[in-house]
């Protein structure tokens, strides 16, 4: 069986993408989902709410791709360009879809809002498409077929698009193309730069069989390594597993997890398995660590909470940090973060605690403690530790790095 | 003077974009910056680390755009495709750039890491480009000119790309093309849906002069409205100002700010001007409100900190919530969030406090308190208030909505 993948293009429509007010998160999510079913996205294109630009992109993308997925241009304030254009492009005429109309009416009833003309127009679709129900909003999706190509038009609202993809588009694409299956294995490393990792596993990569590929996926100071196998033969899964085992051995000392998980998922899993609890007291990270922890469903089982102690007074009152410690070493010091962690652990009665203090910029640095200096304190019954980092980026990136490195230090601390 | 804008295409390169592991935030930032100097991005294209795909994209994009900005494909683990391809595309040969080499060596010295062959190759560039210094990393940028088109190749790391754009690319593009100036005025609304806003200002939009455009930019339950004027004539700025004043009057009751600011920036400004302080105690938002507040530089002047109280025990111990209140009304209730806000304000000694409690999903809902139920409590000396929301999205979106609506409720509470 030939292992040529099915090729897709993603076309996102909307002036908001071109003026840069919207970060396109749809394309990344869609690419991941398509990959899972063995469809390869070879191009992603964004154009504005412009007739000619959309028409041209449809022509161009359908020359090379078998699937063209469109998002955007369908909302109630869209300039009424995309839908009429699609109608003309596929040679149909606009009709009211009774199900879509019922859906619009139902949503407005539920919201107890008056229905206006602009909203009713959402129920109109070209008569040459298969209507994709939208259970999460008013704009229906549209499925077109032309000259062996599939074109799917969906709203740009991520939540609505995702609902349509899961319930309708992905199963139908799978049935229509029966793409060559794809298998992935992913692991997460921390504490080693991309180029040093590459140096270490270069030979491994070079020896990989042709139907297995390695990808480096860096994020926030960590690097994901992903092996992707493509093919229908029965041996592929075993071969991928064997290669993945070898890869794990090569990076054993820097590996965080051998699953496709974030550091907060890994931590959650460890704490859940052990039936232990965690609290946090953040200064420089300002709640971001708490946010990462609580972004995992079910985190209330192991995360008790904690605090954001920006001011020295609050470090003293919420975690019993000694004023003498602050006076002698400053808020950004090993001594302070360890007392913060100890204090919040005692106060909350958790098994473990993490604390941060640092200077994330752009201002507030000194020659001894330049911008980017971060201390992380860790505490458990009868045990303390601390880590020291120095980041060289802007405030946002420094916050992300401090939180992720802090959580990884916590993981190591918990494990021993 | 003709007001035809200079046209740019953004071309992002990298398999990681097509398998969906990286969300492309570069394009949005670049589009914003280009817009500021009067350059209009008419297309954004992503292709993989694939010779043919990159070559074809360069050909296609340069047919319509005067500026083609490339990011990605230059890192130490890139597959050595992009740079040699550019060298060939522009008819040059590879040479070592002494400044780029010195930069690589300097960075590795600073990091106290051994320099490997792979890193040295970063200093090679085609001899037909102008080298763009990279003060934030090892890969230099490249500026090419061909048949009246400008091509700029930069690394995909956002921090490095932004440094090059600010210091080199934007000033040079400005000098080279002298684009028609662009002026923006932006305001932020909250508490009104996009379609109702559109209904209200439809006529205003219709009456706008041809050189002023209105854009709707929705985010997290709020909608930004932006007027953009394009042209060199002296009257434009005054005309834009007049139209912006009219727009402000039309949305006065739902306007958060008449500047291009986020809700946490607006709050920061209000508190700084008043010399007042804030604390927070978060349950369901798990630190995200603290994160939004502290993502503003200088927030340590008005934000004292607070807590994340996920467990009932912590709500009691950090904010003196009465066990009877929790027993009678539950953690997700008006009574509890108001006591949380009161307690954290008293404990921290802040002027204002905000507290949240809710069920963000996917689990934990009940018929009386379904997933998406959120209570926000507010407290000031002698004054309390609460708000109640019901969100219908996934955990992440519900968190963002709860935090942003909560901060807006706080803003209104502070102001009156």
More confident residue, A182 or B404: B404
What pLDDT shows up at residue B136? 81
Shortest Cα–Cα distance, A236 to chain B (Å)? 20
What pLDDT shows up at residue B79? 57
More confident residue, A159 or A246: A246
Of A310-314, A361-365, B148-152, B411-415, minimum mean pLDDT range:
A361-365
Residues of chain B with pLDDT under 70: 1-4, 75-79
> Which chain A residues are within 8 Å of B298, Cβ to Cβ?
363
More confident residue, B76 or A47: A47
Answer whether residue A2 shows pLDDT above 60: no
Distance between CA atoms of residues B17 and A32, nearest Å: 10
What pLDDT shows up at residue B140? 94
DSSP state letters, B288-344: HHHHHHHTSTTGGGTEEEEEEE-SHHHHHHHH---HHHHHHH-SSSHHHHHHHHHHH
Give the helix/strand (H/E) hosting A389. Answer: strand A383-390
Of B16, B46, B285, the CB nearest to A215: B16
Taking one residue from A and the other from B, the number of pairs with CB-CB distance under 8 angstroms is 304
Answer whether residue A367 shows pLDDT above 90: no
Shortest Cα–Cα distance, A317 to chain B (Å)? 8
Q: Do A318 and B305 touch (CB under 8 A)?
A: yes
> Which chain A residues are within 8 Å of B396, Cβ to Cβ?
295
Distance between CA atoms of residues B367 and B373, nearest Å: 11
Question: Which one of B48, B108, B307, B315 makes the best mutation probe of the A interface by having the most chain A beta carbons within 10 Å?
Answer: B307
What pLDDT shows up at residue A4? 62
Q: Do A159 and B394 touch (CB under 8 A)?
A: yes
What pLDDT shows up at residue A108? 82
The residue in chain A having the minimum alpha-carbon distance to the alpha carbon of residue B34 is A19
Shortest Cα–Cα distance, A118 to chain B (Å)? 8
CA torsion, points A236, A239, A245, A249, in degrees to nearest 10?
A: -130
Give the helix/strand (H/E) hosting A172. Answer: helix A170-177
The residue in chain A having the minimum alpha-carbon distance to the alpha carbon of residue B288 is A291
Shortest Cα–Cα distance, A128 to chain B (Å)? 27
The whole-number average pLDDT for the span A86-108 is 93
Distance between CA atoms of residues B310 and A293, nearest Å: 11
Phi, psi of B281 (to 5 degrees): -135, 110
- Ordered by where they begin, the domains of chain A are 6-177 (3.40.980.10), 182-257 (3.30.70.2860), 263-415 (3.90.950.20)
The residue in chain B having the minimum alpha-carbon distance to the alpha carbon of residue A162 is B394
Q: Do A286 and B295 touch (CB under 8 A)?
A: yes
- Cβ–Cβ < 8 Å for A211, A231: yes
Q: Do A308 and B306 touch (CB under 8 A)?
A: yes
More confident residue, A73 or A189: A189
> Which chain B residues are within 8 Å of A294, Cβ to Cβ?
285-288, 308, 310
ipTM higher than 0.90? Answer: no
Of B199, B287, B310, the CB nearest to A308: B287
Distance between CA atoms of residues A411 and A264, nearest Å: 9
What pLDDT shows up at residue B2? 45
- What are the C-alpha distances in Å from A153 to residues A10, A15, A70, A141, A207? 10, 17, 5, 6, 42
What pLDDT shows up at residue B398? 87
What lies within 8 Å, CB to CB, of B148 at 6+ separation is B66
Q: Do A294 and B308 touch (CB under 8 A)?
A: yes
Helices of type H across A189-262: 194-207, 235-250
* pLDDT-derived band at A75, boundaries 50, 70, 90: low
Reading phi first (left if > 0) and then psi (alpha if -120 to 50, else beta), residue A60 is in alpha
| Residue in the block written with tokens 């230090």 | A409
Angle at CA of residue B147, ends B142 and B149, nearest 5°: 50
- What are the C-alpha distances in Å from B387 to residues A74, A107, B226, B311, B407? 32, 23, 29, 21, 11
Q: Do B19 and A31 touch (CB under 8 A)?
A: yes
Q: Do A308 and B305 touch (CB under 8 A)?
A: yes
Question: Which one of B63, B119, B308, B402 makes the best mutation probe of the A interface by having the most chain A beta carbons within 10 Å?
Answer: B308
Of A35, A283, A313, the CB nearest to B19: A35
Of B31, B118, B196, the CB nearest to A199: B118
Q: Do B348 and A22 touch (CB under 8 A)?
A: no
> Which chain B residues are within 8 Å of A215, Cβ to Cβ?
15-16, 19, 21
Question: Which one of A286, A302, A389, A398 makes the best mutation probe of the B interface by having the most chain B beta carbons within 10 Å?
Answer: A286
Q: Do A286 and B291 touch (CB under 8 A)?
A: yes
Of A17, A35, A317, the CB nearest to B44: A17
Of A159, A285, A303, the CB nearest to B397: A159
**% of chain A exceeding 70 in pLDDT:** 98
Shortest Cα–Cα distance, A35 to chain B (Å)? 7
- What are the C-alpha distances in Å from B61 to residues A8, A44, B45, B81, B273? 20, 13, 9, 19, 48
Q: Do B295 and A19 touch (CB under 8 A)?
A: no
Distance between CA atoms of residues B241 and B282, nearest Å: 40
Of A16, A23, A286, the CB nearest to B25: A23
**% of chain A exceeding 90 in pLDDT:** 64
- Cβ–Cβ < 8 Å for A38, A182: yes
* pLDDT-derived band at A140, boundaries 50, 70, 90: very high
Phi, psi of B52 (to 5 degrees): -65, -40
Q: How many CB atoms lie within 10 A of CB A114?
A: 9
| Cβ-based burial of A216 (10 A; exposed 0-12, middle 13-18, buried ≥19) | buried
Shortest Cα–Cα distance, A385 to chain B (Å)? 23
Answer whether residue A293 shows pLDDT above 50: yes
């Amino acid at each position: 069986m030939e292992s040529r993948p099915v090729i897709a293009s993603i076309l996102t429509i909307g002036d908001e993408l071109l003026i840069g007010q919207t970060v396109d998160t749809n394309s990344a999510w869609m690419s991941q989902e398509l990959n899972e079913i063995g469809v390869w996205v070879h191009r992603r294109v964004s154009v504005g709410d412009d007739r000619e630009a959309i028409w041209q992109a449809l022509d161009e993308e359908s020359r090379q791709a078998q699937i063209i997925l469109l998002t955007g241009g369908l909302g109630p304030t869209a300039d009424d360009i995309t839908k009429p254009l699609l109608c003309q492009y596929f040679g149909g005429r606009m009709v009211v879809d009774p199900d879509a109309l019922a859906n619009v009416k139902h949503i407005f009833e539920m919201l107890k809002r008056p229905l206006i003309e602009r909203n009713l127009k959402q129920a109109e679709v070209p008569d040459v498409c298969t209507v994709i129900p939208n259970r999460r909003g008013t704009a229906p999706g549209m499925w077109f077929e032309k000259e062996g190509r599939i074109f799917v038009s969906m709203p740009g609202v991520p939540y609505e698009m995702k609902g349509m993809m899961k319930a309708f588009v992905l199963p139908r694409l799978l049935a229509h193309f029966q793409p060559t299956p794809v298998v992935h294995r992913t692991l997460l490393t921390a504490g080693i730069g991309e180029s040093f990792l590459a140096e270490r596993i270069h030979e491994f990569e070079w020896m990989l069989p042709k139907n297995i590929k390695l990808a480096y996926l860096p994020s926030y100071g960590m690097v994901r390594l992903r092996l992707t196998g493509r093919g229908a033969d029965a041996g592929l899964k075993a071969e991928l597993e064997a290669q993945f085992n070898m890869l794990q051995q090569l990076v054993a000392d820097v590996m965080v997890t051998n699953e496709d998980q974030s550091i907060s998922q890994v931590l959650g899993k460890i704490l859940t398995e052990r039936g232990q609890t965690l609290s946090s007291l953040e200064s420089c990270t300002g709640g971001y660590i708490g946010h990462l922890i609580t972004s995992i469903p079910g985190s209330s089982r192991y995360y008790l909470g904690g605090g954001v102690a920006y001011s020295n007074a609050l470090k003293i009152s919420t975690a019993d940090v000694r004023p003498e410690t602050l006076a002698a070493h400053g808020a950004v010091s090993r001594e302070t973060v360890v007392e913060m962690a100890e204090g919040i652990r005692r106060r909350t009665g958790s098994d473990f605690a993490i604390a941060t203090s640092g200077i994330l910029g752009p201002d507030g640095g000194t020659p001894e403690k330049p911008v980017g200096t971060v201390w992380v304190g860790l505490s458990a019954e009868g045990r303390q530790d601390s880590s020291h980092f120095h980041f060289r980026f802007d405030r946002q990136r420094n916050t992300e790095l401090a939180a992720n490195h802090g959580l990884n230090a916590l993981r190591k601390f918990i494990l021993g």
